[in-house]
Amino acid sequence: MAVLVIDDEAGLRRSLSAHLEDMDHEVFEAANGREGLEVLDAHPDAVRAVVVDLNMPVMDGYSFIQAAVVRDPELPLVVLSGVGVVDDALRAMRLGAWDFVTKPLSNLGVLDHVLEKVLERARLLRENRQYQENLERLVRERTAELELTRRQVMQRLSRAAEYKDNETGHHVIRVGEISALLARAVGLSEERCEMLRECAPLHDVGKIGIPDAILLKSGPLAQDEWEIMRRHCLYGCEILGPLTSKDEANQTCQSLLEATNIDTNELLHLARVLAMYHHERWDGTGYPVGLAGEEIPMEARIVAVVDVYDALRSDRPYKKAFSEGKCHELLRRGAASQFDPAVIEAFFRNVDAIRAIRERWKD
């Protein structure tokens, strides 16, 4: 364990060094604060305590203490202070010194006692810091494990919905990838884009609750069947809602956009929003609520476009896939009525990248 002795009196410095070496300490010496900082920089892991004089040429003890505290706040700094200058010692301690001993040192045992005390304090500080760091690391690891598990459950839930409606396809993956691309294009934060990538595949999870006779019907739906089909938005929100009861899940979905109803889990809240509102229309004629324009959350406006586009481009029990040109025509026609014009504009600015995503995840 090394101790750095800083004093411009060469005789005192040698005496202190000899004594500390007799006490089994390795010793570094410096004649002023600047030399002391050079020793700290050269041996940052070796020096475990510093004994420093206050009044020295080139750089005094006060300046050294200020600089040393910045380098290592846990380094014990013991001040050598002349008799009658206690105020100077107190000033040094306010700057970051840990303790002080007075000159002349008639009893070196005093220095030994002070060093033992500050070194023990430093040891306890290091152990406490290491304990806190280990605890924080364990918490981070556990939190990451829980988050990974939650995300995997959500991904499997979206896969379950896909098996219900489009068993052999990659529709939900494409919706997630294209939605993230458009979110970035309209200026959402990178964090929000990644959240949308993960949540968008859950937009149709409510189809789990729709009877197969309706969901997979090859012909047009009757009015009563269409009313049942529309319920998948609320069903999806409820599936992703509070687990306490179905009634509470329903109430949560009915007031989903109220500020007091924002879930602390942002990912889960966004998934509910997408499930609930991805069939709302820009002109207010959508379902299940009839939101209009910017009342519809931006992420839901994005998914509305992507969902329709990918559905049109894919085979379904009730239709064959439309051509790319026909899909583009329908999207342009739907701008400002069914879709947010800004999202449609972003879509056509990025049409090549969107086409590449469809090719990568083709059915």
Q: Cα–Cα distances in Å, from 238 out to 216, 232, 242?
A: 22, 10, 8
Same domain, 175 and 295: yes
In a domain, 48, yes or no: yes
Residue 240 exposure: Cα atoms within 13 Å on the Cβ side: 38
Tens digit of pLDDT for each residue in 228-285? 999 999 999 999 888 888 888 888 898 888 766 666 678 889 999 999 999 999 999 9
237 within a domain of the structure (yes/no): yes
**Domain around 184:** 166-360
Is the pLDDT at 302 greater than 50? The verdict is yes
Q: 174 and 121 in one domain? A: no
Is there a single domain that holds both residue 184 and residue 332? yes
How far is the C-alpha of 192 from the C-alpha of 245, rounded, in Å?
29
Which of 24-28, 139-143, 234-238, 349-353 bottoms out in mean pLDDT, i.e. has the lowest? Answer: 139-143
Q: What is the pTM of this model?
A: 0.63
Residues 174 and 302 in one domain: yes
Known active-site residue 117 = no
Higher pLDDT, residue 256 or 223: 223
Cα-based torsion angle of the residue sequence 77, 82, 88, 91 in order, rounded to the nearest 10 degrees: 20
Both 98 and 235 in one domain: the answer is no
CATH number at residue 123: 3.40.50.2300
Q: 22 vs 170, which has greater pLDDT? A: 22
Judge if 184 and 42 occupy the same domain: no
Q: Is 3 helix (H, G, I), strand (E, B) or coil?
A: strand
What pLDDT is recorded for position 160?
72
Question: Does 170 lie in the same domain as 122?
Answer: no
Which residues fall within 8 angstroms of residue 88, CB to CB, at 6 or more apart? 54, 81, 82
Is residue 17 domain-resident? yes
3-state SS, 227-247, equals: HHHHCHHHHHHHHCCCCCCHH
Answer for the pair 193, 183: CB distance below 8 angstroms, yes or no.
Answer: yes
pLDDT at position 168 is: 43
CA distance 151 to 171: 18
Contact 65, 92 (CB under 8 A): yes
Give tens-digit pLDDT for 154-179: 767 776 776 666 544 588 889 999 99
Cβ atoms 97, 116 nearer than 8 A: no
Is the same domain home to 71 and 203? no
Residue 196 to residues 35, 177, 287, 319, Cα–Cα distance (Å): 57, 9, 21, 28
Q: What is the mean pLDDT of residues 25-52?
A: 93
**For the ranges 21-25, 30-34, 152-156, the one whose mean pLDDT is highest:** 30-34
| The length of the chain, given as a count of residues | 363
Task: Confirm whether 142 is domain-assigned.
Answer: no
The first and second tokens of residue 339, run together, are: 């879709």
The tokens describing 76, both together, are: 């014990």
Q: Which of 164, 207, 320, 362 is catalytic?
A: 207
**Based on the structure, what is the number of domains in the chain?**
2
185 and 325 co-located in one domain: yes
Q: What is the pLDDT of residue 263?
A: 62
Q: What is the CATH number of the domain that holds 258?
A: 1.10.3210.10
